[in-house]
Chain A
Amino acid sequence: EIVMTQSPATLAVSAGERVTLSCGASQGVSSNLAWYQQKPGQAPRLLIFGASNRATDIPARFSGSGSGTEFTLTISSLQSEDLATYYCQQYLKWPLTFGGGTKVEIK
């Protein structure tokens, strides 16, 4: 099983600041990496697929990068509505696995 590790577990950031979230894979997954946003009490929403491709209707302030074992999700200027937990997911091998999530809080 490919283990996905996210850091930090929690991040407190002021509105307008740049946010960088990390995701690591226990073995290379090429670019088979997706990012999801889950707001409190809501279902997850796809943000990024293929490590760097924004999903439909996702604002340009969200961007993804990386390949192999190290990935990054960047929010260029944090908005209050970005308060959420963010998960990465690899889809190279079965079982499909998620990271433990990074909770982004607004200072």
Chain B
Amino acid sequence: QVQLVESGGGVVQPGRSVRLSCAASGFRFSDFAMYWVRQAPGKGLQWVAVIAYDGRNKFYEDSVKGRFTISRDNSMDTLYLQMNSLRGDDTAIYYCAKDNGKLTPHYYFESWGQGTLLTVSS
């Protein structure tokens, strides 16, 4: 079955950078758009970024544009989120999620990883 395993979270100082990873298995990774969604402690869900199945198209939530970069390595079945210029309000659990549509995205989140907690604090 679909498995998504995030890693790379931890405690980082404001202004620094970190890269999150999401290892995928149980499906043909290269056929599906992938997402990052975050959840601040005790708060709701916020979509962060999306990347098309082939990596050609990417979209970002406004507050992370210019600071975060989503990418993927289809040969390694891995999704990434490069996060620069981190701020306190980036503190959250970061989930990777899989789209429902093969090649043509549907833009909702069919499967989710367990998340990785990133804390931005000095």
Contacts and interface: CB of A to CB of B under 8 A. Distances in A.
Interface of A: 32, 34, 36, 38, 42-46, 49, 55, 87, 89, 91, 94-101
A-B interface, 9 closest residue pairs, ranked by CB to CB distance from nearest: A91-B107, A34-B108, A96-B47, A43-B112, A98-B45, A91-B108, A101-B44, A100-B44, A95-B61
Contacts of A97: 47
Contact of A98 (B44, B59, B112): B44
Given A43-B95, A43-B115, A98 B47 contact: yes
A40 to B, nearest CB: 11
Contacts of A38: 45
Nearest to A92: B107
Interface residues of B, number: 20
Nearest to B114: A43
Given A43-B115, A44-B95, A49-B100, A87 B108 contact: no
Contacts of B46: 98
B113 interface: yes
